[in-house]
Amino acid sequence: MSNLDYLKSEHHEFLDAAAEAMADDRLQGILGQLNDSFSQRNRDAWNAFPGSDQAREQARAIKDETLAELDKHLETLERSVMEGGGTVHWAADGEEACDAVLKIARSANAQRVVKSKSMTSEEIHLNQALETAGIETVETDLGEYILQVAGHRPSHIVAPAVHLSATDVASVLSTVSETPLANNRKELTAFARRKLRQSFAAADIGITGVNFAIAETGSIVLISNEGNARLTTSLPRIHIAIMGMEKVIPRLQDLPYFLKVLARAATGQKQSVYASIVTGARRAEEIDGPEEFHLIILDNGRSRILQGPLRESLFCIRCGACLNACPIYRNVGGHAYGGVYAGPIGAVITPLYDGLSENHHLPHASSLCGACQAACPVKIAIPDLLIKLREQLHQEPGQLGFFETAAYRFWARALRSPFAYRIGTWLATRTLGRWKRRSGWLQRLPGKLHGWTQKRDFPAPAPNRFRDWWKHEGRNEP
């Protein structure tokens, strides 16, 4: 296995991390193969689904309608969960959410936790909080389990260990097996299953995320392909579900629209293998299920985002399709983005959750080609959101240097004054238009502008301005 240590640390300098990822031949080989197959499956799934556009529009409309009255739907959800015998905990941030989990664990004297895949628990760094409190925590999604053993962060929303080959996985899992494991997917899966069954049987608490929470019934919906979420919610005596507050949907009848689009966008399947609807704890007449059900509803900046111009980012159903479609993600992988969420949607929400200036490269980590929006099952206008973030970023003090600030001010003024515009275009055609031109492209711009031509040529301005051409020739042309 090549040196994967850099996958363990959180990078906040996107450019350095991206350069590192681009230089990793092993990673490049994996990304090339996997993302092509993901994208192709995603396209095939949409093409084979005649009502896809309608279903996507409907899912989007439900999200929009829900967010318009989010407080009302969350209150209904709380009421329904309590009527079903569950307990609701409100968490303003990650710390409060972790504290709520630890409080439940302590009052139940819990020693062992199993978890099914949850990006929200990654967002709040729950595993670290549990381990610091001395509670043994085991990830039970196969990809997450591999990452936990390796000490890596997830690199994809739905395929967290996508950056590892089967050889890498054999090498990682061999560190916890008695004998070295071969590079054989079936054997590796069987080994993980054996290990995880023991953890399920011994666990006091099962922690899951929430794909959707249905306000009218107080149910949570879990979508998976491995079945581990079902064991997590049914074997341990306590079930804790953690959701971002935007995961609520008003009615049970809204769910099919999301089920139709989520699986197709995520993995190209018509349906995921398991869609579990869990309502509260075990009832008196039931033979299995947890004794307690707790739902933690996390804000962590979402109510602020809801009020602002990037509200649409809350439509996200975490399918990962925008990652597979994005030419940047396909080249640099997930770890370069630094935060928990990678790819185009990560470039939008990581700065919103973790701070814009701390993640100032992310809004620029996009070619704005629109592939993400085309792939998104709820048609989030990600390029527009990235542009809005860039605007916000440039308004923050200290983000633009003296030269850039002066240049943009001058440009803005010139564009507002016809006289200045005329002079500017005259100067541009007489300097850049004639300077080092070869086949209509400039290979190197001077001074502070050289960054524009570091990686690509710059289109040279025409040697004559349109207004001159029009004056002398254009108007006489038929």
Q: Interface residues with ligand SF4 (CB under 6 A)? A: 157, 265, 316-322, 345, 375-378, 380
**At its nearest, how many Å lie between ligand SF4 and the CB of residue 98?**
24
Nearer to ligand SF4, 183 or 367 (CB): 367
Structure tokens at 59: 């899912």
C-beta of 348 vs 460, nearer to ligand SF4: 348
108 vs 381, beta carbon nearer ligand SF4: 381
In the bound state with ligand SF4, the residue whose beta carbon lies nearer, of 235 and 380, is 380
To the nearest whole angstrom, how small is the minimum distance from the Cβ of residue 326 to ligand SF4?
9
- Least distance to ligand SF4 from the beta carbon of 377, Å? 6
Cβ 120 to ligand SF4 shortest distance, Å: 14
Contact 162, 330 (CB under 8 A): no
Q: Which is nearer to ligand SF4, 290 or 351 (CB)?
A: 351
Residue closer to ligand SF4, measured from CB, 80 or 324: 324
Assigned token pair, 135: 């509670």
Q: From CA 130, how far away is CA 111, in angstroms rounded? A: 10
**Neighbouring residues of 339: CB distance < 8 A, sequence distance ≥ 6:** 10, 346, 350, 353, 354, 359, 362
Q: Phi then psi for 472, rounded to 5 degrees?
A: -95, -35
Q: Which is nearer to ligand SF4, 170 or 266 (CB)?
A: 266
Q: Where are the alpha helices (DSSP H) in 321-401?
A: 321-325, 329-332, 343-354, 371-375, 382-395
Long-range contacts of 61-67 (CB under 8 A, 24+ apart): 62/249, 62/250, 62/254, 62/257, 62/258, 63/314, 63/315, 63/378, 64/315, 65/250, 66/248, 66/249, 66/250, 67/246, 67/306, 67/311, 67/314, 67/315
Tell me how far, at minimum, the Cβ of 273 lies from ligand SF4, in Å: 19
Radius of gyration of the chain measured on its C-alpha atoms: 26
Minimum Å distance from CB 157 to ligand SF4? 6
> What is the smallest separation between the CB atom of 318 and ligand SF4, expressed in angstroms?
5
